[in-house]
Amino acid sequence: MNLKPEHQLNTVNSVVIARLVTAKPSISAKLERQHKAIIANAFADESAVRAPSGRLFAKGGLVSDAFNLINGMSLFLRKKGNPVPDMVGTTYQLADDIDDIQKEFDERRDKLDQLLNTIRSQYDTLVEAGQRKLGNLMHEVEYPNVDEFISEFRFEIKWLGQPSGIQDTVLGAVSRETAARIRAASKQSADDMLTEAHARLVENAITEMGDVALALTQGQRLRQERLDRLSKLADEIEQKNWLKLPQLHDTVRRLRSLHCQATDLPTEQERKDKAKAIELAKADATKTLAELGL
């Protein structure tokens, strides 16, 4: 889908790509002896049963805190920006938000370094606590040494250039005809990926609408926060519609029209009527996805 020139210029020039690079050590270990015992007792095929695993460290302690710090940055980036399609850990971000994002990352990086220092100094105690939780299963588990464990943490943010396609300087050694084709295809791919990132917002709304409709028709308890979620999704789509795509304006309007109070749906018939309205909006949003090329 080609972007309108004014939207393309204004948006692409104000968009960067943030890539969050993370790695965390494994905190579980396969219990191979238990696996073999299960297979033998059940007369099962070994390939049909997965080995159970044991947790190395007590839940809710320093190691969990370190994991939460890293995972929280991913959530922060997703809330700020739009995920780049098919590129895990990578998001489109507005240049105006770079300072806030970098500040958040730096604070988390500092806290993580402090936590890792504490984990290093208390590692033996953490291992002992984990072993107590495992009981006799501790004899099946081999813990890594502290240096191995700490070294497997990775937490970086990398900033990539704006998604504007392959530049002329890259194509200096390519024939003129081929370079022209590559430039056109690259620009189209960059445009399509940015548009697809916007379309993912509509996909999320479709999923949520389906869940609400199901709750209404199957007699499930309808929590107010589930209905409020439709309104919040409308706000998110409106905020992240950087390309000002008119199709997304329609989705925002429909989502807001669906919001109501759970107490406004006291009877089964009213719930069914609301579910029907949600299904119609969901069908319209599905058509929007098709218009956006998804």
Q: Which residues contact 181 (CB under 8 A, 6 or more apart)?
A: none
Number of domains in the chain: 2
Confidence at residue 10, expressed as pLDDT on a 0 to 100 scale: 57
Quick count: other Cβ atoms within 10 Å of Cβ 121? 10
Does residue 234 lie within any of the structural domains?
Answer: yes
Last residue of a domain, one of 160, 182, 211: 160
Q: Are 121 and 176 in contact (CB under 8 A)?
A: no
Written as one string, the DSSP assignment of 135-174 is GGGGGG--PPPHHHHHHT-EEEEEEE--S----GGGGTTS
Confidence at residue 184, expressed as pLDDT on a 0 to 100 scale: 57
Does residue 7 lie within any of the structural domains?
Answer: no
Does residue 13 lie within any of the structural domains?
Answer: no
Last residue of a domain, one of 134, 160, 186: 160
- Output 138 or 119, whichever has higher pLDDT: 119
Q: How far apart are CA 294 and CA 81, in angstroms?
A: 20
Over residues 70-129, the pLDDT tens digits come to 999 999 999 999 998 878 888 988 888 888 899 999 999 999 999 999 999 999 999 999
Over residues 232-276, the pLDDT tens digits come to 999 999 999 988 888 899 899 999 999 889 888 888 899 999 999
Over residues 145-194, the pLDDT tens digits come to 999 999 999 999 888 766 555 455 444 444 566 555 545 554 555 667 78
Confidence at residue 29, expressed as pLDDT on a 0 to 100 scale: 83
Does residue 3 lie within any of the structural domains?
Answer: no
Domain that holds residue 257: 168-291
* 183 and 283 co-located in one domain: yes
Q: How far apart are CA 25 and CA 124, in angstroms?
A: 17
Does residue 2 lie within any of the structural domains?
Answer: no
Q: Most distant CA pair in the chain: distance in Å?
A: 71
Would the pTM count as exceeding 0.75? no
Last residue of a domain, one of 160, 194, 217: 160
pLDDT at 5 over 50: no
Q: 55 pairs with which residues across the strands?
A: 28
Confidence at residue 170, expressed as pLDDT on a 0 to 100 scale: 43
Q: Are 90 and 37 in contact (CB under 8 A)?
A: no
Confidence at residue 201, expressed as pLDDT on a 0 to 100 scale: 92
Over residues 52-73, the pLDDT tens digits come to 888 899 888 999 999 999 999 9
Give the C-alpha distances (Å, rounded to integers) separating 96 from 57, 243, 271: 40, 16, 43
* 40 and 125 co-located in one domain: yes
